Amino acid sequence: MQKKLTERKTIHISHATSQQLNGLVFLLPWIIGFLLFFLTPIINTIIYSFNEVGVADAGGMSFKYVGLENYINLFTTEVSSKSQQFLRVLIDENTNIFVNTPLIVLFSLFSAILVNMNFKGRGIVRVIFFMPIVLGLKVVVNLTMVSTGGDILEASLSSAFDDQMVIGFLTSYTFLPREVMVFIVGIVNNIFQVISQAGVQTLIFLAGLQSINPSLYEVAKIEGATPYEVFWKITLPILSNITLFAFVYTFVDLFLASSISSEIFRFAFNRNNIGIGSALSVVYMINVLIDLGLLLLILSKVVKLGYENK
Partner 1 sequence: MKINKVTSVIIEKWNDNSITDVFTTRRKIVNLVNSIFLMSLIIGLCFAILYPLIKLIPIVFNDVEDLGNPDVVWVPIKYSIISFKAAKRLVFGNGVTMLQSLLYSAVIAVIQIFVCAMAGYVLGRIKFKGNKIIMFLVILTFIVPPQSLLISQYLRFKQFDIFGIIKAMTGSPVDLINKPYTLYILSFFGFGVKQSLFVYIFRQFFKGLPGELEEAAMIDGCGFYQTYFRVALPNAVPAIMTVAILSFVWNYGDTYYTGYFNPEGPYLSIALTNTFMSSNVQNVLKALQTWYDKPGVTTLAFDAVKQAAALIYLIPLLVVYFLVQKKFVENFERSGIVG
Contacts of partner 1 in 273-302 (CB under 8 A): 274, 277-278, 281-282, 284-285, 288-289, 292
Q: Which residues contact 217 (CB under 8 A, 6 or more apart)?
A: 230, 234
**Minimum distance of partner 1 from residue 189's CB (angstroms):** 12
For partner 1, the binding residues in 53-72 under the rule CB under 8 A are 60-61
CA distances from 261 to 43, 93, 225, 266 (A): 18, 12, 50, 9
Q: Which residues contact 242 (CB under 8 A, 6 or more apart)?
A: 204, 205, 207, 208
272-287 residues labelled b (16+ CB within 10 A) or e (exposed): ebbbbbbbbbbbbeeb
Q: Considering only residues 104, 204, 235, 247, which one is a binding residue for partner 1 as defined by CB under 8 A?
A: 204
Q: Considering only residues 2, 3, 57, 152, which one is a binding residue for partner 1 as defined by CB under 8 A?
A: 152
For partner 1, the binding residues in 23-42 under the rule CB under 8 A are 23-24, 26-27, 29-34, 36-38, 40-42
Closest CA to 61 of 286, 282, 265, 278: 278
Distance CA 115, CA 205 (A): 10
**Minimum distance of partner 1 from residue 272's CB (angstroms):** 12
> Count of alpha carbons within 13 Å of 224, Cβ hemisphere only?
0
Q: Considering only residues 96, 241, 299, 303, which one is a binding residue for partner 1 as defined by CB under 8 A?
A: 241
For partner 1, the binding residues in 76-105 under the rule CB under 8 A are none
Closest CA to 260 of 139, 80, 50: 80
**Minimum distance of partner 1 from residue 179's CB (angstroms):** 25
The three-state secondary structure class of 62 is strand
**Minimum distance of partner 1 from residue 310's CB (angstroms):** 7
Residue 11 binds partner 1, judged by CB under 8 A: no
Distance CA 306, CA 126 (A): 29
Residue 111 binds partner 1, judged by CB under 8 A: yes
Q: Which amino acid type is present at position 105?
A: V
Nearer to partner 1, 71 or 284 (CB): 284
Q: Considering only residues 269, 271, 290, 302, which one is a binding residue for partner 1 as defined by CB under 8 A?
A: 269
Residue 74 binds partner 1, judged by CB under 8 A: no
Distance CA 86, CA 83 (A): 9
Residue 160 binds partner 1, judged by CB under 8 A: no
**Minimum distance of partner 1 from residue 250's CB (angstroms):** 12
Nearer to partner 1, 64 or 179 (CB): 64
Nearer to partner 1, 168 or 191 (CB): 191
